[in-house]
């Protein structure tokens, strides 16, 4: 059996789980680089029976799956992966399994980005190294007494709300199905999206990408924000109109942003966001910690073994 581990950027997959338990009959190949071109991905992966993939780093649309004749099993980290066409895998008899996951590392990173952009920390580091002590920096945002707007108040958003309240922030929240009662349980105030964008010192996105949320935050919504307001997105890139966000940052219609997710990942070297000094770029690493990776990779080994035994676990299927 040929097994490939994809997109192991940190080169730790074989260290953080015991793959030897799968036996000598499994030939494991690890790829540390990322291929974006579908022809290249198809050529590379055609020989493999099993693919172990990290979140949504490599996409598996129907067009790619149809070019992988040997593929029988995909194991993805965590319990959801929007980059896999589950209808196509079901039709082709390809089993798709997930692993356990945790929100702890993501919550910590979200708050790291909130504090970093609030204090213009990355630009401060760069100017200090260049011998320009505090030159050209924004005065920091006092979290206490300021207003944070949370677009989405689910598992992650609720935890960010709790931390914001600890810092003494006013918490506004909005999502399509959010009720005033649920918002109050989380210490937040339900307001219309327009009011949230207008009143917040800092806006943070915590929605799942879907047909309803794709492009939700566009030029109109960003245009409602104050010039001194900040924007954080650790959810999914396509929830925000990226071109509109670039324009707002470039024209300083908002003060800054911290982004962990993007329309195209990895970002191409000529992407306009990379030329802006009022945005913090985090390479989709909110969940990237040793403990989380260990949970993911150990879960992959467990899932492959269970599938070989004829009893697949944590099987992903269409809703």
Q: Which residues are catalytic?
A: 236, 265, 284
Structure token digits, residue 208: 């799942």
266 preceded by a cis bond (ω within 30 of 0): yes
Structure token digits, residue 172: 């506004």
CB-CB neighbours of 239 under 10 Å: 22
Q: How far is Cα 241 from Cα 243, in angstroms, rounded to an integer? A: 6
Structure token digits, residue 296: 């993911």
Helix (H, G, I), strand (E, B) or coil at 62: helix
Structure token digits, residue 165: 């309240």
Give the gyration radius of the chain's Cα atoms: 21
Q: How far is Cα 77 from Cα 65, in angstroms, rounded to an integer? A: 18
In the chain, beta strands by DSSP E: 2-5, 27-30, 50-53, 73-76, 95-97, 147-151, 170-174, 189-190, 202-205, 230-233, 256-259, 279-281
């Amino acid at each position: 059996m040929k097994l490939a581990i994809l997109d192991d950027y940190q080169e730790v997959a074989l260290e953080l789980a015991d793959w030897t338990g799968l036996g000598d009959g499994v030939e494991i190949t690890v790829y540390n680089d990322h291929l974006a071109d579908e022809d290249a991905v198809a050529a590379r992966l055609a020989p493999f029976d099993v693919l172990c993939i990290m979140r949504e780093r490599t996409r598996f649309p129907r067009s790619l799956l149809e070019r992988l004749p040997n593929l029988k099993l995909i194991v993805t980290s965590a319990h959801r992966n929007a980059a896999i066409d589950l209808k196509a895998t079901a039709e082709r008899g390809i089993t798709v399994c997930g692993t356990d996951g945790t929100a702890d590392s993501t919550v910590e990173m979200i708050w790291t980005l909130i504090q970093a952009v609030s204090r213009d920390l990355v630009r401060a580091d760069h100017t200090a190294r260049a011998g320009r002590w505090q030159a050209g920096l924004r005065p920091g945002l006092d979290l206490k007494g300021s207003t944070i707007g949370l677009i989405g108040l689910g598992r992650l958003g609720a935890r960010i709300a709790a931390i914001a309240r600890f810092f003494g922030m006013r918490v506004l929240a909005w999502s399509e199905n959010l009720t005033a009662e649920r918002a109050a349980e989380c210490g937040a105030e339900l307001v219309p999206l327009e009011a949230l964008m207008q009143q917040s010192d800092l806006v943070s996105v915590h929605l799942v990408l879907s047909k309803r949320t794709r492009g939700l935050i566009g030029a109109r919504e960003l245009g409602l924000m104050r010039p001194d307001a900040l924007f954080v997105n650790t959810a999914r890139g396509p929830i925000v109109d990226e071109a509109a966000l670039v324009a707002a940052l470039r024209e300083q219609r908002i003060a800054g942003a911290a982004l962990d997710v993007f329309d195209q990942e990895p970002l191409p070297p000529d992407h306009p966001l990379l030329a802006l000094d009022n945005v913090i770029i985090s390479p989709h690493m909110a969940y990237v910690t040793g403990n989380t990776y260990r949970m993911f990779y150990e879960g992959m080994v467990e899932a492959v073994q269970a599938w070989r035994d004829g009893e697949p676990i944590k099987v992903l299927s269409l809703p």
